[in-house]
Amino acid sequence: MTINDLAKLYDRLTPRERLPLIIAASERGDQAEADRLAHAAPRMELRLPDYHGLGEGLLWLTLFHMIGQLDLGLEFWQGLALAFGREAFPHGPVDQARAERLWDEQAARLLPLTGDEAAACLRRLGAGDAKVPTIEGSFQAMRAVIDQRVAWWNVDKG
């Protein structure tokens, strides 16, 4: 049996059979196979309100924002533990040195840093060319998430 013979049977796969095959094809970099599997799936007709894409985009945005906030919170607590709890939680000489650097940085002060100060702090801590997030950049990224979902839902509208 050839690949073409197998492809002729793709329309008979159930969703639970099809999705793992699509994911596996994508993981191995075989986008053509993933596309064949996806396009062979039977189509469902849905009727959705015109604001559905916008609403879904907002839900995605909320999810990504919450994940980002959780990540920032974890980084904050990890930094705080390194700076304040180094005697209670020994981490070895490398982490001890990093804890000392964190404690010595002005990042430990209560007043917020300017963008330039934050970038300089990141460079001193070894983050290289890490970019400091800005409010404008965050809004642009949020808007892009919503716009992408709206565009995805409106692709067939023309």
Helix, coil or strand: residue 89:
coil
Token pair, residue 68, equals 């980002």
Task: Give the whole-angstrom CA distance, residue 23 versus residue 19.
Answer: 6
> Is the model's pLDDT at 90 over the cut of 60?
no
Q: What are phi and psi of 81, to 5 degrees?
A: -65, -40
Task: Compare 105 and 6 and report the one with higher pLDDT.
Answer: 6
Task: Give the whole-angstrom CA distance, residue 141 versus residue 27.
Answer: 26
**Cβ-based neighbours of 56, under 8 Å, separated by 6 or more:** 149, 153
Q: How far is CA 18 from the centre of its chain?
A: 25
| pLDDT tens track for 132-154 | 777 788 889 889 988 888 888 87
Query: So what's the pLDDT on residue 106?
Result: 46
Task: Give the whole-angstrom CA distance, residue 116 versus residue 95.
Answer: 26
| pLDDT tens track for 1-48 | 566 667 778 888 999 999 999 999 999 999 999 999 999 999 888 888
User: Is the pTM above the cut of 0.85?
Assistant: no
